[in-house]
Structure 1
Amino acid sequence: MTKTRSWRPFGARDPHEPHRVSTPLELLFDLVIVIAVASAAEGLHHAVAAGHAAMGVTTFAMTFFATWWAWMNFTWFASAYDSDGPVYRLITCVIMAGALAVAAGVPRVFAGGSLTLVIVGYIVMRVAMVAFWLIAARSDPRHRATAVSYAVGIAVTQLYWTLALLVLRPAGFGAVAGLFVLGALMEMAVPVIAEARGKTPWHHHHVAERHGLFVIIVLGEVLLSSAAAFTYADAPGGHPAELIVLALSALAITFAMWWLYFSQEGPLDQARFSSSFNWSYAHALIYAGGAATGAGFAVAIDNAAGQGHHAPMLASNIAVAAPLAVYMVALWFVRDRLVLTGPWRHGLLAFAAAVIVAGHIGHWALPAMALITILAVVARSQVQCRQS
């Protein structure tokens, strides 16, 4: 395909285009997403440390969903319709502005304040996607019904969020969570309904690469915790030996999580309608598990460094174990249960269970989790070698 720099509306790209990779604009978009993910992870970290784990996890789920869903929808649209022209770039910049508004509003949400900025930023991102789909409907007659379905579905859900914003002002936390779940289900139903009218021409390699890059984004949260532990180890008032162990554990877990994900590409099937949705939607748990693992390590590091609130040891250990287990289970669902055979097909489930058990063994919990994830990498590599 020949890229255009004109103001003319853009059409569909070739789903079999060779050498299709992420564009500089998509990488800039990822940089904005890094900020939003970091904001949500930091909020979870402080909520768990302060003893408000249940509310923190719920708030993290809501704010992380807003970030992931906007990224995911943009990624699939870009795979099919990215023209890299001025119109496309300007609308993408609007989406990025909305993402920054969401990131800016996240700390206030975790503090029990207003949801206004997060919802307004989210609506900005989604309304920009309506504009994208309307342009696609005009430019791509073959997929016009699909594009119109996307535009209408997204517009209706934004009307819901606008009305919900009025209800949320006086509502309690339970009502807020309920309204969020309903809105999230509505959002996730839109692509299913739209794609049933005709599959958009997304690019297999491009979509797989983009999802892999998001994994690297969330693993950055664990690396940040490792760096913080090394920093505090050289500061007065902490426990240097414990902090170094935590730093090395976080580093080992980061490498192992990366290795597990990139050891083999998952079965993203362009021909099967349900396959691509299961693959992409389940990645939300991979991403959330990665980001939350970093937040959990931050809680443990605060305890060792004598910084901020001090969560009980079991709570800080489980704050790492639970999301790490979620990461493994989600990776099993996305890939291993489909590509492996024999008893090792469910190996990641066993390692996830071992991680949860390790969370209950006190001071050695985090090094034990690091060892378990390393063993998972070794086992996964051996299985792959035998089956290749």
Structure 2
Amino acid sequence: MSAPTPAVRVSTLELFFDLVFVFTITQLSETLAEDLSLGTLGNVLLILAVVWWMYSGYAWLTNAVAPNSTTRRTLLLTGMAGFLVMALAVPEAFGEYGWLFGVSYLVVNVVHSALFRTAGPGAVDAMKILTPLNILAALLVLGGSLVDEPWRHLLWVLAPILQIAGGYLHRAEMHNIAAGHFAERHGLVVIIAIGESILSIGAGFHGMHLGGGAILTAVLALTVAYYLWWFYFSGDDARAAHALAAITEPARRARMALSAWGYAHYPILLGIVVTAVGIKTTVGHAFEALHWAQAVALSGGVAIYLLGHAAFLALLRLRGVYHRLAAAAIVLAVIPLGHLRAIAQLAAVVVILVATAIIEDLPEVRRSGGTSISDFGRTAHE
């Protein structure tokens, strides 16, 4: 069994890496906003699947191998370069620059495997199984750029299937997860993604007259982003880290890390992408009717995020699951409002999120004599 290099907090280099990765999320949002169709959404789902798998792989990597030497930092920089080029190629990943995305993805995989060879013997043994599968998945993505449809998408679909299978074809006890570092690393990428979505939405206001509708849209968009933050970080992130740390059996802890921070975080990030797209459609059209696809994106993105976080909490057996499920259902129910006025749907989504947060927070406030769950979250972090 491998022992991770001691690391109490996420390093600034890992945070730098996360900033580069989140550029991929921004690119996916921009790509979907330019062509809000089922075909483009399908492409976004596939790209996010393979990219998130390897980001998660790097999170597992730095959990076991601290980037504390020149060689490791240089290899990590090479991986960052691969993610950057992949992000640049995202808009044409199924077109002109598919080969560039594929080559960059292969580089990211090779660097990941090379760095893991400097970990403990358990992790090295695990990579003897995972490396061939990850490389094969990368070659499938690259191969997809060299063939025509329907083979292109078929190869892309096979890639994440192969990667997921790899997660179950080796013994989980080969990994020893440092719970605090692992939870913090994934929490940081979520907050960065939310922040980047605000920047992406803000860019849509460039050159636009800042009238009442535009200002109201901006404030409501910020409020939506705030409550996406609230649902993840108002204490549940600390409780999740404690729940993971409480699992003493290495195999069970590794499986929980894969399920809760790997699979459940995929819809969380997808929700951020789609929410940003939905909100951007209201920019400049606050008092106009949205097309159905735009209205679905606005509510659907928030609902996907809430469902993803509900799954995350359910896996860890933490409270708040039903609040998020109910909020997701009600958010979807207000989609018709967008077909009347964009701002009406956006405002309704905000009201639903605020009401859900208050309802969830109220019992904790009463039990603590006035101390909110947000205060609990800050205390837990301190």
Q: What range describes the TM-score normalised by the shorter chain of this pair?
A: 0.7 to 0.9
Match of 1:126 among 103, 109, 116: 109
How many Å apart are 1:331 and its aligned residue? 0.6
- The reply on whether 1:150 has 2:138 as its aligned counterpart is no
The 1-side partners of 2:364 and 2:233 are apart by 12
Q: Answer whether contact 1:75 1:210 (CA < 8 A) is retained.
A: yes
Aligned to 1:82: 66
Secondary structure, aligned partner of 1:166: coil
How many Å apart are 1:294 and its aligned residue? 1.0
Match of 1:260 among 219, 231, 248: 231
The 2-side partners of 1:221 and 1:94 are apart by 23
How is 1:1-388 mapped onto 2 (pairs within 5 angstroms)? 12-14=3-5, 17=6, 20-48=8-36, 53-109=37-93, 112-136=95-119, 140-167=120-147, 170-172=148-150, 175-196=151-172, 198-228=173-203, 234=209, 240-263=211-234, 264-265=236-237, 266=240, 267-268=243-244, 269=247, 271=249, 272=252, 273-280=254-261, 281-301=263-283, 303-304=285-286, 312-336=290-314, 338-340=316-318, 345-361=321-337, 362-363=340-341, 364-385=344-365
CA pair 69-311 structure 1, distance change in 2 beyond 3 A: farther
Q: Answer whether contact 1:131 1:151 (CA < 8 A) is retained.
A: no
- Give RMSD over aligned pairs: 2.6
Q: Answer whether contact 1:296 1:319 (CA < 8 A) is retained.
A: yes
Secondary structure, aligned partner of 2:146: helix
One-letter code aligned to 2:138: Q
How many Å apart are 1:311 and its aligned residue? 9.0
Can you list the C-alpha shifts for 1:305-349, whole angstroms capped at 9, x where unaligned?
9xxxx99433222111111100001111101575456xx641211
The 2-side partners of 1:376 and 1:150 are apart by 41
Q: Answer whether contact 2:26 2:200 (CA < 8 A) is retained.
A: no
How many Å apart are 1:176 and its aligned residue? 3.0
Secondary structure, aligned partner of 2:336: coil
Q: How many residues align?
A: 352
The 2-side partners of 1:155 and 1:233 are apart by 46
The 1-side partners of 2:93 and 2:289 are apart by 21
CA pair 221-294 structure 1, distance change in 2 beyond 3 A: farther
The 1-side partners of 2:266 and 2:289 are apart by 27
Listed as ranges, the gaps of 5+ residues in structure 1 are 1-10
How many Å apart are 1:162 and its aligned residue? 4.1
Aligned to 2:376: none
Q: Answer whether contact 1:324 1:352 (CA < 8 A) is retained.
A: yes
Q: Answer whether contact 2:22 2:196 (CA < 8 A) is retained.
A: no
The 1-side partners of 2:114 and 2:226 are apart by 40
One-letter code aligned to 1:116: W
How many Å apart are 1:40 and its aligned residue? 1.2
Stretch of structure 1 that moved more, 372-381 or 70-79: 372-381
Can you list the C-alpha shifts for 1:91-113, whole angstroms capped at 9, x where unaligned?
11111111111111112237x54
How many Å apart are 1:125 and its aligned residue? 0.4
Stretch of structure 1 that moved more, 143-152 or 273-282: 143-152
Can you list the C-alpha shifts for 1:116-152, whole angstroms capped at 9, x where unaligned?
111111111011112123333xxx2344422322223
Q: Percent identity?
A: 26
CA pair 160-106 structure 1, distance change in 2 beyond 3 A: closer
